[in-house]
Structure 1
Amino acid sequence: MILRSRRIWQFGVLVTSLFLVSSPNLAQTEVLNPVKALYGYEDLLRMAEDKIIQETPAKAFDFLIKAKEINPDPDYRYYNLSARAHIKLGQIFDGIHAYEESIKKKNDQLDLVLYVADFYEKERKPKEALFYTKIYLEQKPNAKYRLYTAAILSRQLGLESDYESYIQILESDKTFLSEKEALQTSLQKNIKSKKWKEADDLSLRYLVYFPREEGMYETLILARRGRNSELLEQAYQWTTTVFLTETRYFTRYGVYLQEKQRYLEALSLFRRGFYNLLKFYPDSDAGEILFLIRQSYANLGKDRDTLAIDSLVKDFQNQKKITATELENHQSTYRKNREYLLFCIHWFSKRDTAKANDYRQRLKDRDMEFEEQEFLRVMGVFSALPQDL
């Protein structure tokens, strides 16, 4: 009996030994992930969406990560869910980038394309805004408001031929041409009666048919100012863009920014107005625009530049009598002041080409020095446009 039990025990040891030898990788076998094993790609996307709906967006990423492990090249829905989760977590730019990936996968999501385009326009990124506006226009070529938006963005980027092309497409529609005078009369009545909403709606509706009609912009600005609209700045931006060589609209936009205590941005607008005056209206009185520039410097605590404008006003008024030596001496006192450098370029351009070119180089050097301090390359919607004479 003892002998029989011993044999059974030996047989058991032998079988166990054989089993372990024949299965050397058993201990290293990958542990199955129960989520991946039980749910497919579609299931994981639905579960991620549920978490977003339930206001627990952080947990959605757990399922999105597993979904991408199953499908390393996920479709547009994956990116849409990722974007929604990011945005709910306050990670706006991450959300926008995810939406961009979604559009790459499926570009006929037109509402989404406009959402991204409008986001970049508000963020003052005209290049990106124009890119997505063009994607929309490829599929909706007759969308008037977006044609107008593309025109505005193109001009702000210095793409004049594109701007002109879009504007001409809008102007080619003569549907309301015969009603233009009646429309202007109606707009004036609404403004006089302080019917701000009606004037705003009417101006916006017909602006795309008359994109270079100054009266449309005047009533739009008045209406939005009257109703204290958040879109008033947009009206100023459109107006200064369409009438890019004017001075008065840059002045008005800059004053609006001053009211908002956005002094550095206001300065950038007044500087553009001064540039326009020198380039296109050199015989005009610069008193108002220089006063506003001086005021901006004072608001920014730039005492040296404030004094520079006081001196520049006198030189501008006396520019036909002042000598080259006198002007250069005055400028050297305030050698970093941008307006003085610009005025010297203007003054010498008709008298001494070499001197004018010297001041052009000084202006470039000055702008490079103050580029970060004054946000010269990012400040305002016209930062991409040159301001040298």
Structure 2
Amino acid sequence: MPETETEQSAHRLAMLRDRLEQGMDRRAFLRTLVSGGYAIGMAAWLGVDDFLAADDDEVPVVTALVRDDPADPWSIQKRTRTVPAEWYAAVKQALEVNERLAQLSFTGYLGSTVVPGDQKSGTASISVGLSSDGHSIPEMVNEFAEGIDLNSETIINVDEIQNGPVHRDPHLADMLVNERVPSGVACETPSSMATIGPALYHPDGKRRFFVTAEHAFMENHDATDGTLLLPREDSDTVEVGTVADYHPIEDVAAIEPTGEIEPASRIDAPSRPRVRGQFTKFGLATLVAQDAELEKVGALTGHTTGEIQGIDAVTCFTDDFCRRGQIRWGGEMDLTDGDSGSVSYHRDPDGDDNDVLIAGFNNARTWWPGQSYVWGVSAYQLTEQHGYHF
């Protein structure tokens, strides 16, 4: 069926926006806009008014989703910043190459991650994990990755856990503020222990969830095993919710509160930081470019910090499928059994001193020689795939 004039116009505008996102410079964009018969006032309708305000050698990117009103989780707004165009192009290309690597999944491929360079360098690279039985990066990969450094790393004995967890007493919830539970305290399922993350929200029905690692419920996902328990200091353990949705690929379980106790947008660190939102993919890339550190509070290892080692990572170590949109940070000592479900976070650069933005969940750690980091799904991946936000 032929497109109407309105549909044709919308299609042309969408193509123009796509070209803009692929690196069209500001002057070329303005010429195209005018030659196509569109007034400069259409910029806001196109969503490119921030682009017109940028310098010729910069492009705007969305770095975070942030609450306009800290107390209102539904007041989420996009935060935009300008970054050097050359750096943006390099990171964008590396992200695209990394996606092609995951799709190709050649023999010996165990995962890869994007490592943005500092913004002045205008570079980005990809670290590729290979199995130890003689595999290398195929020549065809080097061809489509031209301009992006591919650094291969051999992963040895990935199936053998080197050391068991050190016994630690879990940090239990003590005094709840307004009957709300902060992130970083222990929770229990019928089969194991994990850490509660900060309140997770979904716009469908404006729902609020407890959240922790899906693997804490093991593989038995029937209704009788979907309860979440909260052990407390000097008080009885209480049931706080039942699982509403399991997301095995992201390793996340969303738990609907069933009583008066609800999750909080707070983290149980000494300063009790307030969660104001979350980083996007380019927000994380900007943190890497600045050599920034992430923080986490787990029920077993407590508060730790560490540098980000890679973003938009693919991990194929532990299951018969690969996980995408992962973040790697810190070292293997930053996580132990019982810390899964905690979140990594960083101070909100534009918020109050006590505001933080979530980077992602902490689900696993390396246990093989030669590499040391924590990994888990990025917050932006959970938003893109399932609509949740912090």
Smaller-chain TM-score range?
A: under 0.3
Larger Rg: 1
User: Higher relative CO (CA 8 A, sep ≥ 6), structure 1 or 2?
Assistant: 2
- Where is the helix percentage greater, Structure 1 or Structure 2? 1
Scaled by the length of structure 2, the TM-score of the pair is: 0.22
Q: Which has the higher strand share?
A: 2
